[in-house]
Structure 1
Amino acid sequence: MLWQGTASPTPLCPSYVDSSLVGSGHLDKGAIFSVAGDSVWATTPGFTVQPAEMKNVVASLAGGDAADKLWTEGIYIAGERFVVFKAEGRSVYGRKGREGIVIVKTTQAILIGHYGDGVQAGNAASTVENLGDYLVKSGY
């Protein structure tokens, strides 16, 4: 686990990325950010989401023009452009060839999961969405 930014609000954040996201076998990279996108709570090594990318993620999850642009411009995560195929409510899903991303917003956090070739998009999405549900129930 690679730590960046400010301290995590809970020491469990690294274990959530390691066990609940990447440890599921459905994701190869993952990160947890503050809901404002200005603080990295935990991330896998080499999965570096830039501040400008997180600013766009936060704006897109808020709705409005930024969310509308997802359909034409896609979304950039860790320097890669993903074509958005689902964006509703708290979630954004994107694809780039045979890999993809799942972004889920909770009360206090934004989860980003990346899946590689050979992984069912639905399994990756369920993994991130289920962790999001758990965090919401836990007050995060």
Structure 2
Amino acid sequence: MDAERAGGEQETPARRRGQGELEAQVLSVLGEASEPVAAAWVQERLGAGLSYSTVITILTRLHAKQAVTRTGRGRPVLWEPVANEAGLAALRMRRLLDKQSDRDAVLSSFVSVLSSHDEDLLRSLLAESGPDDAGAPSDRPER
């Protein structure tokens, strides 16, 4: 049998990470740094046998998502987080919203599926942020 080794042991397939899990881990490691750090520093702290090129790929993807910044013209390039894990999720949500032709319908649908706790929290956060330039109506009916 191909899956068996010479000693009769079966190989265990490597666990596949969930979407965004490695990005979240990289952001977490970057969040521990007190200053911008090199990719090798990130790789060392991540462990798990990740290759340097994998770490660079994840950092480059996070940079494209504007979740990290990179500094330095030569080597080493230094990386620092712009957003934590929650911030990255917020960036994803914003990008998804920006791709929609009917933002009002998307936001309305989103709010309609929130738990009452999440809805209360959202109302509180919106109240704290104050009215925007468009003049948010204050006479909206309560849900």
| Smaller-chain TM-score bracket | under 0.3
Larger radius of gyration: 2
Greater strand share, structure number: 1
Greater helix share, structure number: 2
TM-score scaled by length of structure 2: 0.25
Q: RCO (CA 8 Å, sep 6+): is it higher in 1 or 2?
A: 1
TM-score scaled by length of structure 1: 0.25
